[in-house]
Structure formats: structure tokens, C-alpha cells
Amino acid sequence: MRQALFAAGLGAATVLGFAPFGIFPLPVVTLALLFRFWARAPSARAAAGLGFAWGLGFFLTGVSWVYVSLHDVGGMAAPLAVVATLLFCAYLALFPALAGYLSCRLTSADFWHNALLLAGMWTLTEALRGVLFTGFPWLAIGYSATPPNPLAGFAPVLGSHGLDFLVALLAAAFARGLRRKAAWLLLILLASLGQFLRAMDWTQPVGQPLTVSLLQGNVPQSLKWQPENLELSIATYLDLAQQHPAALTVLPETAIPLFFDEVPGKVLQRLTRHGDVLLGIAIRHRSGGYVNGAVALTPAQAQSYAKRHLVPFGEYVPPGFAWFFALVNIPMADFSAGPTRQPPLAIAGQKIAPNICFEDLFGNELRTALPEATLLVNLSNTAWFGRSLAQPQHLQISRLRAIETGRMMLRATNTGITAAIAPDGRVLAALPPFTRGALIVEAQGYAGVTPYVRWGDALAFSIAIGALIPSCLAAYRRRRSG
């Protein structure tokens, strides 16, 4: 029990390695200590229990904003919101538990074999968390490796799952031999190579820079969907657009709480008075149903993008869970998913690949719009998560997507954090969260292909699977000889 409590504490402390705290060496330390616990566990089942305890501490601390979303904003009764949050975090904790169980079953006495085993198993279970039941890769350990972490240089090559592997590999090396020269040499090698890769220009500027106005309306979620407050949303964004004109104006996800075909023509005319507009709004199908979308408004035409990776319980009803929506107030919770492949939107002289809300968690999906797209734009409404860790954590995720793709990432959000991110992951400018305003930035389009855009997660997964082979072979030999 004492070890389990300590493991849970280690998991909770690991959150300090992510935004907004940014103590990036900490996840290496806490993972190393967890791996030492696994090495001393009397059985694979005991190792799984320690992994579960670590995960429970990690997720209850790191995604505590789920409770805020359900209770503070969604109106669910507090006891039910506590239970729902606990169950969700317990589900997420199963993945480090699985990594502990399998690593213990395949453990090897060889230093490098075991280090590779732990790194590979951790990476593959993180990847599984990112796809199972539509996936929730939030707070994957690789996100702690954004700049100034030197490992960020590997992101354009290996992506976030490759960073999962490298962080876990360092942790495993120090877990098995803090005083070993091999562990310190690995740290020096990876840090040096990462800094070298950060200096490489994987993509090149294309076209002329354009002025972009990113609008942050800060309309409270409690007011947004009430019919009597419709004029509040419309007036807020019209005023911001007119007071901060630009070649391209970007409004966040569902900025105007109407279907696009219901928006008065005079409102669209006023929005586009000074330039092109990218508007986050629900779009109704002619055949029925509706999508969470983005509409590019230009003098010549209107183009649209439909969100393709929907949030279960927030944007659609999983089979058998209709009862859930009697307990929580979530408007428009029956969206349809957009097509897997959608062309970039030609607007303001650029080819823009929009992504809506948590779609930017899925780097392998964003790359389908590349290399055609020259600019990435995230439209979000994080008012659902209140004043929590969700906003800075989401910004950190967007930073990694910019590095992977070698493109600028622009973020227009309702409550924050609205920001402009350079292709190297630097935040060029940002608005304070929970304020109303417009962020005026010079955005540059980029062309070219990073290794990650070309190969996606295939390279990272190949490395992770390959890392398991020595230990798997050794376990096979032991079984045959025993």
C-alpha cells in the first residue's frame, strides 16, 4: 500500500512536467522511479497495480478539468461528476498498468535490452490510449518535450509518439543505472542530436505574409446557447472584427450559436467587410444532420470544413449512452463526422488546414492535409473546461503539431488561449485567457515536407516494436530452456 501511494504521488508530480509548469526533466525522474518499482515488484500483477496507481495520480491531477466540464459547466450533480471523473481517470490508468504488467513479464537482466523494452512498451500503450474508443492521447508523456526541451528537435522526424519513446528510454536508462556512464552518455547524445535537429529548416516560407486577426470573444458557456443571448455573441464578434481589421479574420469554434444557413446575410457582410473570414460554426446537411464546421468566406465563394474526429459524449452519443445526456446540459450533442480527407481551404492567398478543438491531438490525422496546406488553424471553444489546466495543456499540444508539420499554427479560441505559434514551436504572441480581444499577427505560409509528414507515426512505431524484440527473444529462449 505504501508503494502504491508513493506511485500515485509520483504520477501527480509528473503533471508539473507539462504546461503551464514546464519542469520538463521531471517526467524522466518520475518515470525512472516508477520503472524501479516495477523492477522490484514481486510479480507482473504487482507491477500492474503500481502502474495503475501512478496513472490514477497522474490523470486525476492532470485532467481534473473533466470534473469542471461535467459539473461547473455541464450542470451534472457534484457526486455524479466526481464518480464520472474518477471512472474516466481509472480507465486511463489502465494503460500504464498494462505497460507495467507486460514489461515485468518480459523483463531482461541486460541493461540495454530492458531499457529498450520499457521504452517500447510505454510508447505502444500510449499509442493504444490514443486510438482505443476513438482515442484520448491527452498528456501523452512526449508532450512534455516541447521547447526548451532539447528532445523537441526529434518531433519533425518521429512525432509525439517518438518523443514518448525517447522520454521513456531516458527514464529506463536512469532507472537501471543512475551511476552508469551509459545513461549519462545517452542523455548527452539525445540532447545534442535534438539541438542539432532543431536547427534544421524542414520547410520553407511560401508566398507573402498576411495579417491575421484571431478573435477571442470570451462568451461564457452558461450564456452562449441561451436564445436570448444570441445577440450577445453576434455583437461581440462583429465589434471585434470591425475594431481589428485584417486580411484574414478567424472566429473560434461555434462562435455564432446558429447553423450557418441561419446567420443573417447582413452579419456575414459585416464580418467580411475588411477581408476574408474563417468562421467556426455548425453546418446543416441538406440530407439531414449537422457537422461541427468551419466556413471560409471570400468574395468569390464559401468553402467549408467538417470536423472529422468527434468527442464522445460531447459531440455524439456512443451507443447505449443516451441516458447520459439526461444528467448533463450539452447542447448540439449529435454531430456527424466529416470525411477523413478534406482539401485545404483556399483563403487569403493561403491554403489553410483547419482543425477544430481537440482534433489537434491527432498528428497523424492532421498530416493528411499536407503538404498542400501552408497554414494550420485551430478553432476551439475551451469554455467547457473553465479556469483549469486544459487551456495551457491544449496550447502545448498545438505547439507540438506546429513542430511536427513545419507550419505555423494559429489558434482562435472563445476563452483562451488564443495564440500564434511558429513552426519551431515558439509562441509568438498570445492573448491572456478569459479576456475579450483580438490578436493581430503576421502569419507566414510554409511549404515542404518534414519526415513526420512523410511517414507519420510509422517510424516511431517501428522503433518501439523493434525495441521489444531482444527481450521477447530472450523470454522465448528462457521458456524453451525452462
pLDDT of 179: 65
Q: Are 467 and 445 part of one and the same domain?
A: no
Q: What does the pLDDT look like over 51-88, one tens digit per residue?
A: 999 999 999 999 999 888 888 777 788 899 899 899 99
Which of 254, 324, 264 shows the shortest CA–CA distance to 290? 254
Rounded Cα distance, 434 and 416, in Å: 6
Question: Nearest-CA neighbor of 36 among 171, 185, 163, 180?
Answer: 171
Least confident range of 273-282, 331-340, 406-415: 331-340
Q: Looking at the predicted structure, is the pLDDT value of residue 323 above 80?
A: no
Same domain for 433 and 286: yes
What CATH number does residue 410 fall under? 3.60.110.10
By residue range, what is the domain housing residue 170?
2-200+456-481
| Residue 307 shares a structural domain with residue 186 | no
Confidence of residue 387 (pLDDT cuts 50, 70, 90): confident
Q: How many domains does the chain have?
A: 2
What is the dihedral angle through the alpha carbons of 196, 197, 198, 200, rounded to the nearest 10 degrees? 100
Give the active site residues: 253, 307, 357
Q: How confident is the model at residue 7 (pLDDT cuts 50, 70, 90)?
A: very high
| pLDDT greater at residue 133 or residue 161 | 161
Asked whether the predicted pLDDT for residue 380 surpasses 70, the reply is yes
Q: What percent of the chain has pLDDT over 90?
A: 71
Residue scoring higher pLDDT (480 or 33):
33
Q: Is the Cβ–Cβ distance between 442 and 348 less than 8 Å?
A: no
Considering the domain architecture, whether residues 142 and 231 belong to the same structural domain is answered as no
Least confident range of 42-51, 170-179, 209-218, 438-447: 170-179
- Mean pLDDT of the region 305-318: 78
Residue 413: the pLDDT is 95
In the predicted model, is pLDDT for residue 114 greater than 70? yes
**pLDDT digits over 28-47, tens only?**
999 999 999 999 999 999 99
Same domain, 142 and 219: no
Residue 282 has pLDDT above 80, yes or no: yes
The x, y and z cell numbers of residue 332, run together, are: 448540439
Q: How confident is the model at residue 465 (pLDDT cuts 50, 70, 90)?
A: very high
- For residues 175 and 210, membership in a common domain is answered with no
